[in-house]
A and B are shown apart, each in its own frame.
Chain A
Amino acid sequence: MKAIFELARRVEASGPRQARAAVAAFVGNQIFPLVEGRQAVFVFYDGHAADAVYLIHWVFGLESRLPLIQLGATQAWYLPVELPTGGRVEYKYEVHREGGRTLVRDPLNPRRAFDPFGSNSVCPMPGYEEPFWVQPEPGVRPGTMTSFSIDSAVWGDRRDVEVWLPNEYKAHKRYPLLIVHDGRDYLQYASMRTVLENLIQRHEVAPLVVAFTSGHVRNAEYAANPKQADFIALEVLPALQSRFGLSDDPAERGLMGASFGGVTSLFTAWRHPGVFGQLLLQSGSFVFTDVGHHDRGPMFDPIVAFVNALRADPGRVDARIFQSCGTFESLIVFNRSLLPLLRDAGLDVRYREAADGHNWIAWRDQLRAGLTHLFPGHLWMIYD
């Protein structure tokens, strides 16, 4: 904070040329956004004039489009924002120029987070550290990826399933199974293969088989759609059982997903009780209504109908649950609301929050807690 105000004072006291030089020198010597304690100062500067600049972020509770302040008459803009320590914020700038507006990443910040829509700039607050287990660890024995296709009677088309097998996989043995929704995204944006290999090597997670599935018309399929639940329980599961050494115990069978993927995971366990005994639900879009209508658009109609039904009979879900959500998400309210309901119904639910948003890095960062809770290894006892 001090640094930006000091720069503002200097700019104000200088002529245009010195002010430009001061800004250029300043941006060359700092890490952006400027962060001190709970204060982050977002600075936009790309060496060109702009009419206005806005901070676009996804922090629930803050206005989603915050105007930056021009630094004197220079081409630099800034905005101080208070954010929680340990937090992590993804953002872009909306730059207004010559009557148009463009969304850009922060040209002063090389840190990026990727998702299916591209990438965002990242502002990690003090206390946030990238987990050590998301990068390949030396000496880790890699698993293998294989794939097969299903001619789905439920969907009337052909669907691919990618399957990750642990390094120690042997066909004659029986392993726990985890079926992942948005599987390709978990692999690409949440480093899930690396995470699995690291955590299994460390014996934090028991060796298991992981099936990665992906939707074709994803949102419609994952919005508490009975066809998707039947596809997973009646087509994907038997196909996996016929191809791989899998445990017959439902307690060793799990579903996971994020956002709508969390919804379809929970919905599948609801529609087919006793089939999947472990659920890893990340930022589930568990929107419900007490009275009246929701304001999330028609895509949420089946979800709201499902969650309302679930709230009336939560005990129908027969599974252990790991549930997580980011405190920067509007969904935090729904996730927090669901928790006591599930627990009061006697379900074993472990719940975690992080000061992060609705994004793949946030979901990656909770994988260790979720996987070790649902599929714990013998880390304390095994020394191999």
Chain B
Amino acid sequence: MRPLVLLGPQRPDPNLRGPLDEAGCDGPCVLITAGWRGDEAEDAALRSHIGRPATALPLYRWFEAASVDAPDVAASWTRRQERLRALKRVHRLRLTPALEAWSELVRAEDDRAIVDRELERALRAVRQVDTDLLEETAAIEAEHSELARPWEDARLRSRHEAVCEALDGAGALLIAGGHVGVLMNRIRFFGVDVAAAARPDLLVAAWSAGLMALTDRIVLFYDDPPEGAAWPEVFGPGLGWLPGLVALPHARRRLRLSEPGRVGLLARRFHPAVCVGLENGAHLVLKDDRWVNVGVTETAFQLDGSGAVRGLS
């Protein structure tokens, strides 16, 4: 695994600088703030906090420009994204009942042994729906093979080359949060992942949506939206640089952590991956195959299959 600095949300109090120092980051930083969308360029506070020279990769702005420079490629990309969004809408028609079946079973007061076996089957069904989504996502992407490496188009190549050049001399790549879908899209459209593969030693620091992007499976979550309850759902594959972890930034605000049933289901649904909630101040490191929070206490926790929320310290 490449060297990673994994942090909780950076607002209101950033804690990125210390871990960068500890990690021995001695070169200039490369910033990706595409998740901030229209605010991508407003990185002055971040630059000031890290106290190092930094180069921004304005992926969001570049994509806007690509709509003019290579409109056919950008339009194809957008069409593919629309198909992926349609997939999620349709997929939800199977996911929601599968999760509701599990939820009904939890409340069932029949013979415990029978209910427990049915619960296991219901969980397997949910996991299968999740797997199906990832497989179908891959299938749709394969159907658009012309978009596998959009930056190879002559009109976009210079952007990818700029990415390669920036990463080549970088001491760290910093990936901020924001809109996780936009972030992932822009990273892949300009081949940042491919460019970074040439630098396996490059330190990557990420938080919030940036951290979610590093994982192998991005899970969206918000238990109490304005219209009724909602279930976490798989968004799609991440970059895979941080396998085995489901990142849940701002989990205290976004999840019903006081409901052991929901907590336990989330943990078991994505097992063997570990579901980790991160709040402002968290700094995760892997010690003896266990995630440990070396940041502010009680800002990172693991969801347990039993429904418990266990602090990482």
Q: Which residues of B contact A170 (CB under 8 A)?
A: 42
- The residue in chain B whose Cβ has the minimal distance to the Cβ of A205 is B226
A339 to B112, alpha carbons, bound, how many Å?
47
Size category of the binding interface on chain B:
20 to 34
CB-CB nearest in chain B for A173: B38
Residues of B within 8 A of A380 (CB): 220, 222, 225, 230
Q: Is the CB of A139 within 8 A of B12?
A: yes
* CB of A368 closer than 8 Å to a CB of B: yes
Closest B residue, CB atoms, query A373: B226
B253 interface hit (Cβ, 8 Å): yes
Task: Check if A117 is an interface residue, CB within 8 A of chain B.
Answer: no
CB pair B225–A379 under 8 Å, yes or no, is yes
| Interface-side segment among B15-23, B175-183, B286-294 | B175-183
What does the 1/0 interface line of B11-45 toward A look like (CB < 8 Å)? Answer: 11000000000000000000000011011001000
Determine whether A12 belongs to the interface, using a CB cutoff of 8 Å to chain B.
no
Please name the residue on chain B nearest to A379 by beta carbon: B222
- The contact of B280 among A137, A139, A382, by CB within 8 Å, is A139
Q: Which residue of the partner chain B has the closest CB to A140?
A: B12
Given known contacts A168-B39, A173-B38, A202-B253, A384 and B177 CB-to-CB distance under 8 angstroms: yes
A372 within 8 A of B: yes
Q: B212 near A: Cβ within 8 Å? A: yes
- Indicate if the CB atoms of A383 and B250 lie closer than 8 Å: yes
Q: What are the interface flags for A147-170 relative to B under an 8 Å C-beta threshold, 1 for contact and 0 otherwise?
A: 000000000000000000000101
CA distance A3 to B296 in the complex (A): 50
Determine whether B209 belongs to the interface, using a CB cutoff of 8 Å to chain A: yes
Q: Which residues of A contact B280 (CB under 8 A)?
A: 139
Interface of A is mostly: loop
Q: Are the C-beta atoms of A383 and B177 separated by less than 8 Å?
A: yes
B229 smallest CB distance to A (angstroms): 13
Contact A372 B226 (CB under 8 A): yes
Q: Are B12 and A381 in contact (CB under 8 A)?
A: no
The answer to the question of B215 belonging to the interface, with a C-beta cut-off of 8 Å to chain A, is: no
Across the interface, name the chain A residue whose C-beta is closest to B182.
A381
B39 to A, closest residue via Cβ? A168
| Distance between A348 CB and nearest chain B CB, rounded to angstroms | 15
Which residue from chain A places its CB closest to the CB of B218 in the assembled complex? Answer: A383
> Is B209 touching A204 in the complex (CB atoms < 8 A)?
no
Contacts of B225 in A (CB 8 A): 204, 379-380
B238 located at the interface, meaning its Cβ lies under 8 Å from any Cβ of chain A in the complex: no
- Indicate whether A378 reaches chain B with its CB closer than 8 angstroms: yes
Query: CA of A378 to CA of B209 in the docked complex: distance in angstroms?
Result: 13
Question: B11: which A residues are within 8 A, CB to CB?
Answer: 139, 141, 384
B89 to chain A minimum Cβ distance, whole angstroms, is 12
- Interchain CA distance A368-B220 in the complex, whole Å: 21
A342 CB-CB contact with B under 8 Å: no
B249 on the A face (CB < 8 A): yes
* B237 at the A interface (CB under 8 A): no
Other contacts beyond A173-B38, A379-B222, A384-B35: 9, CB < 8 A? A168-B39, A369-B226, A369-B227, A373-B226, A382-B178, A383-B180, A383-B212, A384-B9, A384-B36
Can you list 18 A-B pairs with a CB-CB distance of less than 8 A?
A141-B11, A141-B12, A168-B39, A170-B42, A173-B38, A202-B253, A368-B226, A369-B226, A372-B226, A373-B226, A379-B222, A379-B225, A380-B230, A381-B180, A381-B181, A383-B177, A384-B208, A384-B209
Q: Which 10 residue pairs across A and B have the least CB separation, nearest first? A: A372-B226, A383-B209, A384-B177, A383-B208, A383-B249, A383-B177, A381-B179, A381-B181, A382-B179, A384-B178
